[in-house]
Structure 1
């Protein structure tokens, strides 16, 4: 009777161990426990063919689960404050979708900003779209393709479209720290805003349709279980203008699905109109909900 109970206990270990095996993350301790369990099962009267059949069945279930893909979606709503060439406040919203399946990660984002001045006149109205596709070559190298489109009624450009494609290298990814680098070519198209009101960024109002080169750095630090810091540095260089953007953000989880997000965007443009500043700054305070 004691041997039979021991056999049942060890058989229950197989589903957990096989999940590790399917991800190629079996530790030496896991292998030792697996060998001991297999030995005890064999001694209890179950032949090795039956043991292998159980293992194969659990492995198929794990692979099927992994190949179904994972969704990570969130919506953000909050307040935006701009300074530099313009001083104004607006409501900001953001919707983001992420789908990961095996080696491919797809992201889609939509953001909208709207605001009025003290006299009740609209002084902020913009929307932006972003789509990216990341393909993992191995644990360190990947290829990143990204396309973005911005429509802004109160900027130097009514329309801005940009495509950036390049290889990336993941230098650190240990659960606490994450760091990667991306470089490559791209293309930039901009339609100028010819209204006098559309000079918030101070960038020269010229037609832009040109190749560009870019460099990007992404960093994340999980300070505490519910608190993380994100940093992104993007440099896009072309014949009409070089734009350097630094974004730093702090996210603190309130519940499993709710979090407070604070971020700061700092942009430097090289080619600007006279009397305007090279610098623009935006602060975002938002409530984030995961679904």
Structure 2
């Protein structure tokens, strides 16, 4: 017999990041909302019996909007223990700033970082800048796309494989092209479906990031959230390493 414990906690001070259009100040005579929005998310699972494992995931996000400027940041943390030993430990970092050029277009600057002790790359960081375009931005539907050049730094995780299995172990420093799509849809008043697809292409390899989450409001303050994050590299340092790393989480959300 096994015991399972699932606990999630989310403190929401605002809607999801990217969900609200930013416009120049002075366009409305009404009292403007607070320019700062924050999110805190926490989830924990414990399994005992035939399987002994513990997992922890946390997320902190913030967005600041004023006039034509929009800046948002995010930090994610995942940790997994199996049979008393650490099996997964990774962190994700995101920082982006935007400047509105018109009703639909904007300039962006982006930093995206990834650190993991057990993936094919120990360090994977990119910076990029370019143009963004909002195809839709309504109360129920958001769709925006971004494209621009940038630079990438990757450090292969050679600790997970033997030296004779290495295909390449040099640190990657190269120019890239980044493409990104943000999508959020509210088919029902209590249901939100959101996804984010990011492609980072360089000479050494191409990385595809996929984020998908579904949030179902149970009451005004409680919701159920399912989230799936995946990272795929077209080339990894060794054939013994997996090209894809993915995480699936289920959380209870408490909104205040």
The TM-score bracket by the shorter chain reads 0.7 to 0.9
1:172 positional shift: 1.0
* Residues 140 and 171, structure 1, Cα contact 8 Å, conserved in 2: yes
Counterpart CA distance in 2 for 1:117 and 1:203 is 29
Does 1:92 pair with 2:57?
yes
Q: Deviations over 1:43-66 (max 9, x none)?
A: xxxxxxxxxxxxxxxx4xx4xx43
In structure 2, the residue matched to 1:230 is: 194
Moved more, 148-157 or 209-218: 148-157
Structure 2 residue ranges without an equivalent (≥5):
1-25, 46-52
Does 1:132 pair with 2:96?
yes
1:169 positional shift: 0.8
Does 1:77 pair with 2:48?
no
Alignment of 1:143-222 (within 5 A): 143-196=107-160, 205-222=169-186
Does 1:113 pair with 2:100?
no
Q: What SS is found at the alignment partner of 2:158?
A: coil
Compute the TM-score of the two structures, normalised by the length of structure 1. 0.67
In structure 1, the residue matched to 2:251 is: 286
Q: Deviations over 1:151-194 (max 9, x none)?
A: 22222222222112110111111222111111011111122222
1:69 positional shift: 4.4
Counterpart CA distance in 2 for 1:92 and 1:156 is 20
* Residues 118 and 160, structure 2, Cα contact 8 Å, conserved in 1: no
Query: Are residues 152 and 281 of structure 1, via their aligned partners in 2, closer, same or farther at CA, if it must alter by over 3 Å?
Result: closer
Counterpart CA distance in 1 for 2:94 and 2:121 is 17
Alignment of 1:9-20 (within 5 A): none
In structure 1, the residue matched to 2:15 is: none
Counterpart CA distance in 2 for 1:289 and 1:97 is 17
Counterpart CA distance in 1 for 2:241 and 2:155 is 20
Moved more, 266-275 or 180-189: 266-275
Aligned residues: 220
Alignment of 1:40-51 (within 5 A): none
Q: Which structure has the bigger radius of gyration?
A: 1
Structure 1 residue ranges without an equivalent (≥5):
1-21, 25-58, 81-87
* Residues 74 and 290, structure 1, Cα contact 8 Å, conserved in 2: no
In structure 2, the residue matched to 1:16 is: none
Query: Are residues 236 and 187 of structure 1, via their aligned partners in 2, closer, same or farther at CA, if it must alter by over 3 Å?
Result: same
Q: What SS is found at the alignment partner of 1:195?
A: helix
Q: Deviations over 1:190-240 (max 9, x none)?
A: 222221269xxx996431111110111111111111211012111110111
Q: What SS is found at the alignment partner of 1:212?
A: strand
Correspondent of 2:66 among 68, 88, 101: 101
1:91 positional shift: 1.2
1:275 positional shift: 4.9
- Indicate the structure with greater strand content: 2
Counterpart CA distance in 2 for 1:223 and 1:204 is 46
Query: Are residues 164 and 261 of structure 1, via their aligned partners in 2, closer, same or farther at CA, if it must alter by over 3 Å?
Result: farther
- Indicate the structure with greater helix content: 1
